[in-house]
Structure 1
Amino acid sequence: MVSTLTFPKGGVHPPESKGLTEQLPIQVMPLPAELHLILGQHIGAPCTPTVAKKAAVGEGDLVADVSKGLGVPLHAPAAGSIKAIATAAHPIRVTTPSITLAVDREAQPRQWTADQWQQLTAQELLQKVHDAGIVGIGGAGFPTHVKLKPPADTPVDTLLLNGAECEPYITADHRSMVEKAEEIVEGAKILLKILGIKTCVVGIENNKPDAIAAMTAAVRAAGGDDSDISVVTLQVKYPQGSEKQLIQAITGRKVPAMALPSAVGVVVHNVSTTRAVYEAVALGKPLIEKVVTISGRGIVKPANLLVKIGTKVSDIVEYCGGISDEVAKVVLGGPMMGFAVSTLDIPVTKTTSAVLFLTKEEIDTTPLSSCIRCGWCLDACPMGLEPKEIGLYVEANRPENTEQFGVFECFECGSCAYVCPAKRPLVQFVRLAKMKAKRS
Structure 2
Amino acid sequence: MTQSTQTSSQTPTSSPKLWKFHGGIHLPDEKALSNQGPVVEAKLPTQLVIPLAQHIGAPARPCVQPGERVFKGQMIGEPQGYVSAPVHASSSGVVRAIEPHAMPHPSGLPAPCVIIDTDGEDAWAPDRPEPVADFQSLDAEALRARIRMAGIVGLGGASFPSSVKLNPGQDQPIDTLVLNGAECEPYITCDDLLMRERASEVVTGARILLHLLGTGRVLIGIEDNKPEAIAAMRQAVAEQQAQTPAQLEVVEIPTLYPSGGEKQLIRILTGREVPTHGIPAQIGVVCQNVATVAAVADAVLRGQPLIERYVTVTGRGIAQPGNFRVRVGTLASELIAASGGYSGELAKLIAGGPMMGMTLQGDAVPITKAMNCLLALTPAESPDPGPAMPCIRCGQCAQVCPTSLLPQQMYWHARAKDLDKVQDYNLFDCIECGCCAHVCPAHIPLVQYYRYAKNESWAREREKQASEHAKRRHEAREARLERLERERKAKLRKKKEAITPKTKAAPGQSAAVGGAEQSSVSSAADTKTDTAKTDTAGSVQ
Task: Quickly name the TM-score band, shorter chain normalised.
Answer: over 0.9
Structure 1: segments with no counterpart, 5+ residues: none
2:91 to 61, 78, 92: 78
Q: How far apart, CA to CA, are the structure 2 residues paired with 1:371 and 1:166?
A: 28
Match of 2:539 in 1: none
Residue by residue over 1:317-343, the C-alpha shift from the partner in whole angstroms, topping out at 9 and shown as x without a partner, is 121111023211100001110000111
Structure 2: segments with no counterpart, 5+ residues: 1-10, 461-541
**99-108 vs 193-202, greater mean Cα deviation:** 99-108
Q: 1:4-403, aligned counterparts within 5 Å?
A: 5=18, 7-90=20-103, 91-93=105-107, 94-108=109-123, 115-116=132-133, 117-222=135-240, 223-367=242-386, 368-403=388-423
Residue by residue over 1:334-369, the C-alpha shift from the partner in whole angstroms, topping out at 9 and shown as x without a partner, is 111000011111111101010000001111311122
Task: Report the CA distance between 1:196 and its aligned residue.
Answer: 1.1
- Structure 1 counterpart of 2:322, one-letter code: A
Q: Secondary structure at the match of 2:272?
A: coil
**383-392 vs 257-266, greater mean Cα deviation:** 383-392
Q: Is the 8 A contact 1:130 1:144 kept in 2?
A: yes
Structure 1 residues 340, 7: closer, same or farther in 2, change over 3 A?
Answer: same
Residue by residue over 1:214-261, the C-alpha shift from the partner in whole angstroms, topping out at 9 and shown as x without a partner, is 000000001223121111110000110111111110001111101110
Structure 1 residues 209, 107: closer, same or farther in 2, change over 3 A?
Answer: closer
Q: Is the 8 A contact 2:72 2:123 kept in 1?
A: no
Q: Secondary structure at the match of 1:268?
A: strand
Q: How far apart, CA to CA, are the structure 1 residues paired with 2:180 and 2:424?
A: 30
Residue by residue over 1:255-275, the C-alpha shift from the partner in whole angstroms, topping out at 9 and shown as x without a partner, is 110111011110000000000
Task: Report the CA distance between 1:108 and its aligned residue.
Answer: 4.9
Q: How far apart, CA to CA, are the structure 2 residues paired with 1:297 and 1:400?
A: 43
- Return the TM-score normalized by structure 1: 0.97
Q: How far apart, CA to CA, are the structure 1 residues paired with 2:406 and 2:159?
A: 27
- Structure 2 counterpart of 1:35, one-letter code: L
Q: Is the 8 A contact 2:398 2:436 kept in 1?
A: yes
Task: Report the CA distance between 1:123 and its aligned residue.
Answer: 1.4
**167-176 vs 81-90, greater mean Cα deviation:** 81-90
- Structure 1 counterpart of 2:354, one-letter code: P
Q: How far apart, CA to CA, are the structure 2 residues paired with 1:6 and 1:103?
A: 50
- Structure 2 counterpart of 1:202, one-letter code: I
- Structure 1 counterpart of 2:188, one-letter code: I
Choose between structure 1 and 2: higher strand proportion: 1
Match of 1:426 in 2: 446
Which structure's CA Rg is the greater one? 2
Residue by residue over 1:120-164, the C-alpha shift from the partner in whole angstroms, topping out at 9 and shown as x without a partner, is 122111111011000000021110011111132221100000000
Q: Secondary structure at the match of 1:118?
A: helix
Aligned pair count reads 440
Task: Report the CA distance between 1:9 and its aligned residue.
Answer: 0.5
Match of 1:408 in 2: 428
Q: How far apart, CA to CA, are the structure 2 residues paired with 1:68 and 1:106?
A: 33
Q: Secondary structure at the match of 2:347?
A: strand
Task: Report the CA distance between 1:415 and its aligned residue.
Answer: 0.9
Q: How far apart, CA to CA, are the structure 2 residues paired with 1:4 and 1:361?
A: 40
Q: Is the 8 A contact 2:17 2:269 kept in 1?
A: no
CA-atom RMSD in angstroms: 1.6
Structure 1 residues 209, 414: closer, same or farther in 2, change over 3 A?
Answer: same
Q: Is the 8 A contact 2:19 2:270 kept in 1?
A: no
**133-142 vs 107-116, greater mean Cα deviation:** 107-116
Q: Is the 8 A contact 1:390 1:433 kept in 2?
A: no
Q: How far apart, CA to CA, are the structure 2 residues paired with 1:314 and 1:11?
A: 34
Match of 2:458 in 1: 438
Q: How far apart, CA to CA, are the structure 2 residues paired with 1:362 and 1:92?
A: 20
- Structure 2 counterpart of 1:249, one-letter code: I
Q: Is the 8 A contact 2:92 2:121 kept in 1?
A: no
Residue by residue over 1:398-417, the C-alpha shift from the partner in whole angstroms, topping out at 9 and shown as x without a partner, is 34431012211111111111
Q: Is the 8 A contact 1:399 1:433 kept in 2?
A: yes
